[in-house]
Structure formats: structure tokens, C-alpha cells
Structure 1
Amino acid sequence: MSDLKVEGFKSSELLAGLGAAFATYSDAEKAAQIKKTNGIFELQVSNEAKEVATWTIDLKKTGTVYKGGAKPKADVTIILSDETLTELASGKLNGQKAFMTGKLKTKGNMMLATKLDGVLKSASTQKAKL
């Protein structure tokens, strides 16, 4: 899953881990996660050097994570910093608070963006099982 990693982004480790966790899901677990989430998230992450990397979490059709823009179109695009994404994933920051303080911006289905917390948490518990 190293094809998900991007030099200079702490969150690329996290997204590679998320992709690896999805890969370990059984078909039934993947189907349950897709049914529960039913959306495509495009994450536009910027680092301290002001570079932007884009990843897509497809929990509508395939249950995968890949580098680059969403194909087909994302249901929600989430724009945030590398640091904010790592804080969200670790549980140090809550998505609603990040949005309210301007650390996270969304385009598209904002209600779907609220499900990202759950996706990150379910993958980290899956990773903890490994």
C-alpha cells in the first residue's frame, strides 16, 4: 500500500494504514462499511510547505483508498491541513470542532463529512486487531 504514501505528509502514513485495513476486511465487513457510509470522500490535504496531496476514500462502490481525485465525482470534498487530519485520526480533534474553527472546509454533502470520524475510527480499531 506504499503507493498511497506521499513524501512530506504525515497523514499519508495514516491513509496507507486505512487502505491496508480496508484490504483486510472480509467482503461482508466491506459491504457493511459501504452500506453504513455510502459515500466518496476526497481529501485535499496541505502540508507546511503549502503542497497539496489528494486522496480518495471510496465507501460507495469499492471500499478502497487511492491517491488522486475521486472517480466518479466525490460526494464530499474535505479540505484540511496534514496536521488537522492526523489530529482527527488520533482523536485529539473532533471533526465538528475542526469545521467550526475553520481547520476543515467541505464542498458537497456536508452531512457525509460527519461520517469521516467514524471511518477513521473503525479503520484504526481494525488495525489494532492485526
Structure 2
Amino acid sequence: MSDLKVDGYKASELISAISEGFAALPDTEKAAQMKKVNGIFQLDVSNEAKEVATWTIDLKKTGTVYKGPAKPKADVTIILSDDTLTDLASGKLNGQKAFMTGKLKTKGNMMLATKLDGVLKVASKPKAKL
């Protein structure tokens, strides 16, 4: 899904992988994931040039990922750098540690932000082999 990619952001690949991961889930699994998370994440990601790209992961209403601010309003907005997001997704960085060291900031439902780790794991699941 190239419409999710933004030049200059390593996280673009990750966001695309999350989107593809959700699209590949059977409807029952997607519904279970949405029920478990039940929230809308808005990711405000800054790159080295201090530009901000915004993506939304909707696991409340549609089970989709899209570029741009959340519609309706996000339950939690997570503000972090491109490097921090890729480190979180790869497992190099723990979300709680990122928050405590100021690498990750939240606005809104902070408890929902703790569920982002599970959402990022969708992107790192190995694709089925034939």
C-alpha cells in the first residue's frame, strides 16, 4: 500500500507492513484484535529534518491503517521520532522505557498506548511460507 509511504521516514515501511498484516488477517482474527485493543492510535512521527508525518491505526471502527490525522478523534496520540518507532517495532526498545526517557510522549488514553506493542507485532509476524 504505497499510499501509506512518506519519503524520508523509515517508519513508512513499518506502517505499510502493519496495514498489510491487518489486511491479511482472517475476519475473525481481525475482529478479535479489534475487540482486544478497541482504540484509535494516531502516530505523530518526526524525522531527522524535524518534519512530522501522521498515520492512524484504527482498531476501534474499521481495522485499517491510513495516512493523516484520526477521523474520528484518536483515543491516544503517540508522539515519537522515526528512529524510536522503528526501534519499538524491532524490539530494540521497550515502550515503557521510551516513555520514561522522553523518547515517546502521549496525549489521551495512556493505558491504550501500552497496547501499541501488540499492534506493532502484527508487522513483525513472519509471512506464511508455502
Alpha-carbon offset, residue 99 of structure 1: 0.1
Amino acid at match of 2:57: I
- Per-residue CA deviations over 1:13-32 (Å, capped at 9, x if unaligned) read 10001101111111101100
Consecutive unaligned residues in structure 2, runs of 5 or more: none
**2:3 is matched with which residue?**
3
Cα distance in 1 for residues equivalent to 2:113 and 2:59: 12
The one-letter amino acid paired with 2:54 is T
Superposed CA RMSD in Å reads 0.7
Q: Deviations over 1:61-85 (max 9, x none)?
A: 1111000000000000000000000
So what's the TM-score if we normalise by structure 1?
0.96
Contact 2:14 2:123 in 1 (8 A): no
The two structures have a TM-score, normalised by structure 2, of: 0.96
Residues 99-119 of structure 1, C-alpha deviations (whole Å, 9 max, x = no match): 000000000000000000011
> Does the 8 A contact of 2:40 with 2:74 survive in 1?
yes
Q: Tell me which residue corresponds to 1:89.
A: 89
Q: CA deviation at 1:89?
A: 0.2
Question: After the TM superposition, which residues 32-111 of structure 1 pair with which residues of structure 2 at under 5 Å, given as runs?
Answer: 32-111=32-111
Classify the secondary structure of the residue corresponding to 1:61: coil
What does residue range 22-41 of structure 1 map to in structure 2 within 5 Å?
22-41=22-41
**Aligned residues, how many?**
128
Q: Which runs of 5+ in 1 are unaligned?
A: none
**Residue matched to 2:127:** 129
Structure 1 runs (4+) greater than 6 angstroms displaced: none
SS of match in other structure, 2:84: helix
| Amino-acid identity (%) | 80
Cα separation, 2, equivalents of 1:129 and 1:44: 27
